[in-house]
């Protein structure tokens, strides 16, 4: 669909936004390397995590330069801009907005003053206590906004940048502020001489450390290490800070880890060629498909994915069920990358901008269509209608995650609670609403088992309502979460359906 800035988003239909990730981060310390180009390719590998803006900051040891703009990594940077970004330290960011709108002043990395220089910060995740942090900024700076906040940056990242402007080393400032941040954060940050990385104590979003021959890389996903030739070393631990300078790499466990990795990274968000907590994302998705086939079998002729995100689970479903696998729809992968507004005629075709059926494959067949999730249901309704128009005899929809009933506050923009189709309708009603002959969701247990992680080490809040980091009451109220359900201790608050 067309956005206000004239670009087409990845949304299939007006009013139907799929789950959106909240950014990718990258950092590199590598004397003798072209760090801006390493960061460019790292961000290229993380483009799926955010397509609204991109930015890179570099330092040569004495000065930080930053270049950022709205658009995709390939639209923002060219040889000339990368050439200007000299140095041996760099951080980079691709953005999808959660806190703060999609405008230039909210693009990252953010820059802020420090007593001894400048800090540049890139953030993946979303903080839930921004009101508290804003009050802290005002308390510390006497109500006078400085830096990016004064220039109109409305993000939680700008608040953190402002709070890093304290006496002492940047390392100590970061260690001091980390325990005051509630929610999800993976940071890459730098001053003129040092690269830092930090992860929230729940480790909600992924962050990994890699080794180059002449330096170190930190990135949201292992796929970004692969693209720049870095070997995987380990994950940045929840609650850990890394400090990388000419002396090498140091680690500081700032907060006791309480791991709660986002299960939706395995379902949809991360690239299939990424590994999280030692588990291949592609293999997790294929296993979700195999389990889905056992939990919700159906007599059919062909298993097809909703491309691309449903593909590994569809392969798994076909393997387990013995039903043939085929490609029944072709995705136009570049639709989200044009600045040309669709004409009225094209817009009315809706989903055809993005997906087109292969009639000769699906005509007369009983289909099993595999998708990763249902948010509002508009996409699945359009897919089912399109497949029937193309001659499908039956359309059975299978979903490789449980019903999404709760909003995410940790960096994924699903929809408000009222907009979620599974918040109010049961599975049969949803099947009727989207026009499917049958509908089956994988169980929560099946999804978790496919990740090979313990239930206690995962956030499943959008499915279960169990929020691992407490929500300030105004935030919960704004999203329709009952106040009575949001009164558990700050560290672990569980939200249940009202009786």
Inter-residue contact 93 to 157 (CB < 8 Å): no
Using CB under 6 A as the binding rule, whether residue 181 contacts ligand SF4 is answered as no
Interface residue with ligand SF4 among 1, 133, 164, 263 (CB under 6 A) is 263
- Tell me, letter by letter, the H, E, C secondary structure of 443-484: CHHHHHHHHCCCHHHEECHHHHCEECCCCCHHHHHHCCCCHH
Least distance in Å: CB of 401 to ligand SF4? 9
- Please give the helix or strand (H or E) that residue 285 lies within, else none: helix 281-295
Q: Which stretch binds ligand SF4 (CB under 6 A): 92-100, 242-250, 299-307, 455-463?
A: 455-463
Annotated binding site for Mg(2+): 309, 371-372
Q: Which stretch binds ligand SF4 (CB under 6 A): 81-89, 216-224, 262-270, 366-374?
A: 262-270
x-or-dash string of contact with ligand SF4, 393-432, rule CB under 6 A: ---------------x-x-x--------------------
Sign of CA dihedral 37, 262, 494, 486: positive
Binding of ligand SF4 by 461 (CB under 6 A)? yes
Q: Is 471 in the site for ligand SF4 (CB under 6 A)?
A: no
Annotated binding site for [4Fe-4S] cluster: 262, 408, 459, 462
Does position 392 bind ligand SF4 by CB under 6 A?
no
With DSSP H G I counted as helix, E B as strand and the rest as coil, what are the percentages for the chain, rounded to 5? 35, 25, 40
Reading phi first (left if > 0) and then psi (alpha if -120 to 50, else beta), residue 308 is in alpha
Residue 292: CB atoms within 10 A of its CB come to 29
Cβ closer to ligand SF4: 211 or 455? 455
Taking the least distance from each CB to ligand SF4, the nearer of 98 and 118 is 98
Nearer Cβ to ligand SF4 (305/402): 402
Residue 197 contacts ligand SF4 per CB under 6 A: no
Marked catalytic residue, from 8, 23, 228, 383? 23
Torsion angles phi and psi, residue 462, rounded to 5? -70, -20
> Which pair of tokens denotes residue 459?
């956030």
Report, in Å, the least distance between residue 353 CB and ligand SF4: 26
Q: Is 186 among the catalytic positions?
A: no
Among candidate residues 192, 172, 217, the one with its CA nearest the CA of residue 113: 192
Q: Which of 22, 73, 208, 262 binds ligand SF4 (CB under 6 A)?
A: 262
382: left (phi over 0), alpha (psi -120 to 50) or beta: alpha
Tell me how far apart the alpha carbons of residues 133 and 115 are, in angstroms, rounded to a whole number. 20
- For the annotated binding site, the residues are 262, 309, 371-372, 408, 459, 462
Give the DSSP letter string of 35-100.
HHHHHHHHHHHTGGG--SEEEEEEE-SS-EEEEEEES-HHHH--HHHHHH--SSEEEEEEE--SSS
Give 137 or 412: the residue with its C-beta nearer to ligand SF4: 412
Region binding ligand SF4 by CB under 6 A among candidate stretches 93-101, 114-122, 129-137, 456-464: 456-464
Q: Does position 459 bind ligand SF4 by CB under 6 A? A: yes
The footprint of ligand SF4 (CB under 6 A) covers 204, 262-264, 408, 410, 412, 459-462
Enzyme catalytic residues: 23
């Amino acid at each position: 669909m067309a956005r206000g800035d004239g670009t087409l988003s990845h949304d299939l239909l007006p009013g139907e936004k799929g789950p959106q990730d909240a950014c990718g981060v990258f950092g590199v310390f590598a004397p003798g390397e072209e760090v801006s180009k390493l960061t460019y390719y790292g961000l290229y590998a993380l483009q799926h995590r955010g397509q609204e803006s991109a930015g890179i900051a570099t330092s040569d040891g004495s000065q930080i330069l930053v270049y950022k703009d709205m658009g995709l990594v390939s639209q923002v940077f060219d040889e000339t801009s990368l050439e200007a970004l000299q140095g041996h330290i760099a951080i980079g960011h691709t953005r999808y907005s959660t806190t703060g709108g999609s405008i230039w002043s909210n693009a990252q990395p953010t820059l802020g003053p420090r007593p001894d220089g400048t800090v540049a910060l890139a953030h993946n995740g979303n903080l839930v206590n921004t009101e508290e942090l804003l009050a802290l900024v005002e308390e510390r700076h006497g109500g006078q906004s400085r830096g990016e906040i004064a220039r109109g940056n409305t993000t939680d990242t700008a608040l953190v940048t402002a709070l890093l402007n304290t006496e002492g080393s940047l390392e100590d400032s970061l260690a001091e502020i980390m325990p005051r941040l509630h929610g999800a954060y993976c940071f890459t940050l730098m001053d003129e001489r040092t690269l830092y990385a930090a992860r929230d104590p729940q480790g909600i979003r992924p962050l990994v450390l890699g080794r180059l021959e002449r330096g170190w890389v930190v990135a949201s996903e292992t796929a970004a290490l692969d693209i720049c030739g870095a070997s995987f070393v380990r994950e940045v631990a929840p609650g850990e800070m890394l400090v990388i300078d000419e002396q090498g790499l140091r680690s500081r466990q700032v907060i006791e880890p309480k791991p709660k990795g986002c299960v939706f990274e395995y379902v949809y968000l991360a690239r299939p060629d990424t590994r999280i907590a030692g588990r291949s994302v592609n293999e997790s998705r294929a296993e979700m498909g195999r389990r889905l086939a056992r939990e919700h079998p159906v007599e059919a002729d062909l298993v097809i994915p909703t491309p691309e995100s449903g593909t590994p689970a569809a392969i798994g479903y076909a393997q387990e069920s013995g039903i043939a696998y085929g490609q029944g729809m072709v995705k136009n992968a570049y639709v989200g990358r044009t600045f040309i507004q669709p004409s009225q005629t094209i817009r009315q075709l809706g989903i055809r901008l993005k997906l087109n059926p292969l009639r000769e494959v699906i005509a007369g067949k009983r289909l099993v269509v595999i998708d990763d999730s249902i948010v509002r249901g508009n996409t699945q309704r359009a897919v089912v209608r399109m497949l029937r128009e193309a001659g499908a005899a039956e359309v059975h929809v299978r979903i490789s995650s449980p019903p999404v009933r709760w909003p995410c506050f940790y960096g994924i923009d699903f929809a408000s609670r009222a907009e979620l189709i599974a918040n109010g309708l049961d599975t049969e009603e949803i099947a009727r609403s989207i026009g499917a002959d049958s509908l089956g969701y994988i169980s929560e247990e099946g999804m978790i088992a496919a990740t090979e992680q313990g239930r206690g080490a995962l956030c499943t809040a959008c499915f279960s309502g169990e929020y691992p980091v407490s929500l300030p009451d105004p935030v919960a109220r704004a999203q329709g979460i009952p106040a009575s359900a949001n009164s558990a201790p700050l560290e672990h608050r569980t939200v249940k359906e009202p009786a």
